Chain A
Amino acid sequence: MSANALERPSAANAIVALGVAIFILAPLLIVVPMSFSSAHSFEFPPPSYWLGHYRAYFTADWLRPTLNSFLIAVASSIVTLLVATPAAFAVCRREFGARRALQIILLLPMLVPSIIMAISYYSVFGVVGLNQTYLGVILAHTCISIPVVLTAMSASLRNLDRNLERAAAICGATQAQTFMLVTFPLLRPAFLIAAFFAFIHSFDEATIALFISSREVSTLPRRMFSSINLDADPVIAVASTFMIAIALTVMVVLTFLSRRRQAAEASR
């Protein structure tokens, strides 16, 4: 029995772990109360509470960037899925010589620092007239989301039971029928997961947007950046609360989806 006690982590470990968890959670505990604060600068704890910042958030100054971010994130998720899904099939299901090299190339946009991509886009988009346009931001965000979607799709593809497709083929389904009636429906949660990843990746991206978007096409992270950098506008707390809510939603949905997948695998 004493050996059993030794397997468990020590009390000191528990205390340190709890401390680190509080450190990790600290911003959440600050940001949400601040969104209800009546202070006109960055002040915590709030002197009193009201909803004034929420009212300010729902004006063009903040709503416009939020809407822009939504549009850009949705558009770039769709384009990323279209471009990266076939590649995920190739990487997971085909054998070819340069496979490993290709896998690495397809990961690179995620690993190159965004400041490098930001000035690179700024120069090139300046020549072709894509700076300060929605299309420019969407194109850039799609590029950096490709590795994310590829990874998510590959993980799901590898977990897919290929016997189901074989069964369809044996029963006389053509390739196209197998894909449309078996593979695609099975992959629907995978598409959803990958789309979420791409959405968040674009929605949170700040550096590239800072360089290539303008006031008109300003994204929410860009607006938040200038709020911290220039005007110390406390409405940023509302925008932050909103983004935390999105993160929470994404996490709950992803947990739910992966639970369902695990349950499906367990029942096989």
Chain B
Amino acid sequence: MTTPNAQQVSAVAPVSARARSGAAARARRLPRGIPTWLLLLPALAYLLATFGVPLANTFWTSISDPELSLENYRHIFTDPIYLTVYLRTVLVALSVTVLCLLLGYPLAHYMARKGGLVAASLLAVTGLCFWISFLVRTFAWTVILGNRGPYTEVARWLGFDPPPVLLFTTAASLIAMTHILLPYMVLTLYVVMSKLDVNLIRAAHSLGASRRQTFWSVVAPLSLPGVVSGSLLVFIFCIGFYVTPTLLGSPHDMMIASLISNEVETLLDFGTASALSMVLLAAIMAMLALYDRLVGLERITE
């Protein structure tokens, strides 16, 4: 792996040196390629128009609707209703993250240690789930948890009559969001754990460590980067989640995304909705900065 990389670097360096050496040199050696800025231009121009401008407009709305002031921000930081929603959003996101970790870690650990056909099929199951639309999965959970679904049957069979209601409660959106975000956690953990050197485990065992000791002093610390990266990823996706909590959760226990939509669709209060969006955006940016610090943002897509 190192040799081609080194070659690549040495091959790239003269290109960039030449690219910097003025228009005259470039004109003489025209076919040397398209300048870097021109390669980047389409994507950057596109993002400026369809990403930068709409977000800037939302920011502007948050400080200018209905009048130019910080009133919207004062409002959403003092009204206890909004504060409850932030707290709930963070609590739900934390719970989902912990649930994903508790469920995802054993699965990823098993796949990484077991290997072979079993691991490959478990990986395929996780991958398939990753590719299935989250609306399909949300729909499936409305059926599973609904009052004519498997959950009710099983609960009745266990002697709960009537069974405790799950659908349209925070518990339902918690279960479904955990299910939807679990593949991110499992795949992130698996990437880290499958690279773990088996010889380290062998060494620990040959030195007399028990299964438990080996896990806590070798496997767990070495898989920590995966845990951090997976947890941050799940948390970041979870705090902005809109569709699933809206469809499965209780309208009285809104998360911030549902609140934003509610401000726009039923109250037509764009100022407040924009201010809330900016707060959510700031929270996401803070989490991303943390991710960048701990893991490196360029690795988020691995």
Contacts and interface: CB of A to CB of B under 8 A. Distances in A.
A41 B33 contact: no
Interface string A170-199: 000011100000000000000000000000
A3 interface: yes
B284 A109 contact: no
B202 A7 contact: yes
Interface string B30-47: 011110101111111011
Nearest to A95: B16
Main secondary structure of the interface of A (DSSP, over half): helix
A30 B302 CA distance: 31
Contact of B148 (A43, A84, A95, A118): A43
A267 interface: no
Contacts of A176: 31
A116 B127 contact: no
A247 B182 CA distance: 17
B288 to A, nearest CB: 6
A123 B273 CA distance: 11
A100 interface: yes
B125 A24 contact: yes
B260 A120 contact: no
A179 B242 CA distance: 43
Contacts of B109: 9, 13, 17
Contacts of A24: 125-126, 129, 179, 182-183
B39 A90 contact: yes
Nearest to B9: A95
A50 interface: no
A108 B54 CA distance: 14
A146 interface: yes
A89 B43 CA distance: 12
Contact of A221 (B111, B135, B273, B280): B135
Contacts of A44: 143-144, 148-150
Interface stretch (B66-74, B78-86, B100-108, B156-164): B100-108
Given A9-B113, A113-B280, A247 B57 contact: no
B7 A113 contact: no
B205 A116 contact: no
User: Which among A23, A109, A116, A229 has the highest number of chain B CB atoms within 10 Å?
Assistant: A116
Contact of A247 (B42, B133, B143): B133
Interface in A105-130: 105-109, 111-124
Contacts of B148: 39, 41-44
A6 to B, nearest CB: 5
A20 B103 contact: yes
A124 B179 contact: no
A21 B141 CA distance: 16
Interface in B22-36: 31-34, 36
Interface string A1-41: 00100111110011011001101111110110010000101
B113 A7 contact: yes
A9 B114 contact: yes
Contacts of B280: 113, 115-116
Contacts of A251: 124, 127-128, 131
A259 B131 CA distance: 19
Nearest to A242: B136
A257 B297 CA distance: 27
Nearest to B265: A211
Given A20-B107, A143-B51, A7 B243 contact: no
Interface string B264-302: 100000100110010011001000100010000110110
B243 A20 contact: no
A77 to B, nearest CB: 14
A86 B42 contact: yes
A133 interface: no
Nearest to B259: A115
Given A8-B113, A20-B104, A113-B284, A119 B16 contact: no
A256 B21 CA distance: 44
A204 B135 contact: yes
30 contacts: A3-B202, A7-B113, A9-B114, A13-B109, A21-B126, A24-B182, A24-B183, A26-B144, A27-B140, A27-B141, A28-B128, A31-B136, A42-B148, A44-B144, A44-B148, A83-B42, A103-B298, A104-B292, A114-B242, A115-B240, A119-B274, A120-B57, A124-B54, A162-B11, A228-B247, A229-B246, A236-B139, A248-B128, A251-B124, A251-B128
The 3 closest A-B pairs by CB, nearest first: A113-B240, A27-B140, A17-B110
Interface of B: 4, 7-8, 11-13, 15-16, 19, 31-34, 36, 38-44, 46-47, 50-51, 53-55, 57-58, 61, 103-104, 106-107, 109-111, 113-114, 122, 124-129, 131-144, 146, 148-150, 179, 182-183, 198, 201-202, 205-206, 211, 214, 236, 239-243, 246-247, 257, 260-261, 264, 270, 273-274, 277, 280-281, 284, 288, 292, 297-298, 300-301
Given A236-B139, A243-B135, 13 more contacts: A25-B129, A89-B39, A100-B298, A103-B298, A111-B288, A113-B284, A116-B277, A120-B55, A228-B139, A240-B133, A240-B140, A247-B128, A251-B124
